Amino acid sequence: MQRSVQTTSTTAPAMPAHAQVYLRLRDMVLYGDLTPGQAVTIQGLTERLSAGMTPVREAIRRLISQGALESRGNRRVSVPLLTAADISEIIVAREWLDPYLTRQAMTCLTAADIDALTRLDRALDGAIRQGDLRAYLHLNHQFHLHIYKLAQSPILSDLAEGLWLRFGPSMRVLCGRMGTQNLPDNHKQTLIAMQAGDADAAAAAIQADVRQGMDQLRASLSEGADYE
């Protein structure tokens, strides 16, 4: 037997294996290592992640309960294929949640916070220039996650983060289609509004960002029919 996920010196001081597996699997969902509709097997993941069966089972179960994976009736698990109706629901939810969390974040925003967001956005620009799709997805996600964190609203942030898990795989497909050169970046308006201390403008900018991205997603879904 392999020496499992044994802490390779510095990697994981005290993080249980199921948590590590969860994080890795979640990232696979978020950043497109799994395509919509793809089957997810326990044994496949035990090999791919060289982890035991129990941690993988728990991670999968956790992601199912978050909507990142779906359990087809007969003990088979797969990455959900979003319908247009699903996307519409996610749009409704995000168009409400994201501006709300942005306003919350604005109530206690420091210059350092804006700096951190600006750095993230600059890194995002770099990823776009280099056509690094995975970095783009990651940094875009980080940008919004950072706002959620600043809002200091753990429950609402949980809801918002959960939505990302649902559209992650489809977003990857969309961006893959658009080509790596003309990926959108609508964060500039948000940063300007934040620097001006204008909560209304910041919320509106975030809402526009969300709507733009999600609308593209829905359009891509309906025109591309099913991707496989």
Partner DNA sequence: CAATATGTAATTTGATCATATTGTCGCCGC
Partner DNA sequence: GCGGCGACAATATGATCAAATTACATATTG
Contact footprint for a copy of itself (CB under 8 A): 16, 18, 54, 57-58, 61-62, 64-67, 75, 86, 89-90, 92-93, 96, 100, 153-156, 158-159, 162-163, 166
Longest dimension (CA), the chain: 59
The interface region with DNA, picked from 34-42, 98-106, 107-115, 130-138 by CB under 7 A, is 34-42
Q: What is the rounded distance in angstroms from the CA atom of residue 78 to the CA atom of residue 2?
A: 27
> 11 with 202: CB under 8 angstroms?
no
Q: Choose among DNA, a copy of itself, none what residue 51 binds, the Cβ cut-off being 5 to 8 Å by kind.
A: DNA
Nearer to DNA, 1 or 155 (CB): 1
Strands 70-72 and 39-40: unpaired
Q: Which does 227 bind (CB under 5 to 8 A by kind): a copy of itself, DNA, none?
A: none
> Would you count residue 75 as binding DNA (CB under 7 A)?
yes
Distance CA 191, CA 185 (A): 12
Which of 11, 23, 38, 53: binder of DNA (CB under 7 A)?
53
Contact between 80 and DNA by CB under 7 A: the answer reads: no
- Residue number with CB closer to a copy of itself (54 or 195): 54
C-beta of residue 55 within 8 angstroms of C-beta of residue 62 = no
Our finding on whether 8 is near DNA (CB under 7 A) is: no
Residue 1 partner contact from a copy of itself, DNA, none using kind-dependent CB cut-offs of 5 to 8 Å: DNA
Nearest alpha-carbon partner for 120 in 98, 133, 135: 135
- For position 184 contacting DNA by CB under 7 A, the verdict is no
- Distance between CA atoms of 212 and 186, rounded to whole angstroms? 9
17 near DNA, judged by CB under 7 A: yes
Nearest Cα residue to 137 out of 163, 175, 166: 175
On the 0-12 / 13-18 / 19+ scale of CB atoms within 10 A, 46 is middle
User: What distance in Å separates the CA atoms of residue 55 and residue 157, rounded to the nearest whole number?
Assistant: 25
Nearer CB in complex with DNA: 44/224: 44
51 binds DNA (CB under 7 A): yes
Judged by CB under 7 A, the stretch of 1-9, 146-154, 177-185, 186-194 that binds DNA is: 1-9
